[in-house]
Amino acid sequence: MSQKMQAIVIKSSQRKEKDASVLLFSLESGKVWATLKGVKNPKAKMKTAQSQFAYGEFVLEEGKAGKIVTSFEMIENFHELCEDVDKFFEASAVLGALDKLDFSSTQERARAFVLTLKTLKGICFGQVKKNYCLSKFLIELFKICGFGLFSVKCSCCGMKSVERFFVDYAIGELVCAGCKTFACEEMPKTAYMALKLLDTTDFEKLGTLRLSAGSELALLHVLVKDFEAHFDCKLNLIGIFI
């Protein structure tokens, strides 16, 4: 029985001499491994289906050794991501985060799928400064998973107008100096302001933002550490913190 799905290629690897395995992130079924037969042949019809970032409609059949892609129609290849090294690293980090996660509900999966497409489009086609889309992606991903980081008050005592915020990585929330524990880490004010701006700005308007020097990297360090604390895994951030 065939299965049709819209999916993004997270990663691919060679399988046998002319085959490839692809990890797909689909709207319908979440993450799925599938085999592309004969795509290492230069004249293969589905050659582009093995490319990282490729987004399209896949048709899968159940084979003896797992799912096999029998048809592929490209919707967007995001080719520009492979022509700009900064965009490539940023987009790869986005897919790397997806590779680490499993979503518990159909609603979470659908929201994450739409978020991923928005992020890749922002990186690829938007006039957005380096790493803004990645930070925005992580902020929105935290919300999908049930722990939005940004707050205007201490998540513990509810105090507003807090002078110094601390990140409690155990719960992924901000607390004041009076509620912090030894596990908390102070968030630089510049990073907090960057978080506030990115949290309240839509992807379509990220190109209008100009965060203060260094604040985007300070924020990204916090977001990455929060991700790794919550999901107990390391992100591949080659080319990001340079």
104 assigned to some structural domain: yes
Q: Give me the pLDDT at residue 7, please.
A: 97
Q: Are residues 50 and 63 in the same domain?
A: yes
Q: Mean pLDDT throughout 16-35?
A: 91
Read off φ and ψ for residue 182, nearest 5 degrees. Answer: -65, -20
Q: Are residues 19 and 101 in the same domain?
A: no
Q: Are residues 95 and 204 in the same domain?
A: yes
**pLDDT tens for each residue of 114-129:** 999 999 999 999 999 9
Say which range, 34-38, 93-97, 147-151, has the weakest mean pLDDT: 147-151
Judged against a pLDDT cut of 80, whether residue 16 lies above it is answered with no
Sign of dihedral through CA atoms 198, 199, 205, 206?
positive
- Domain count for the chain: 2
pTM of the model: 0.94
Q: Are residues 130 and 65 in the same domain?
A: no
Judged against a pLDDT cut of 80, whether residue 15 lies above it is answered with no
Q: Are residues 49 and 36 in the same domain?
A: yes
Q: Residue 241: pLDDT band by 50, 70, 90 thresholds?
A: confident
Q: Residue 183: pLDDT band by 50, 70, 90 thresholds?
A: confident
Q: Are residues 37 and 85 in the same domain?
A: no
Q: Give me the pLDDT at residue 242, please.
A: 58
Q: CB under 8 Å to 101, separation ≥6 — which residues? A: 112, 141, 145, 231
Domain hosting 72: range is: 3-77
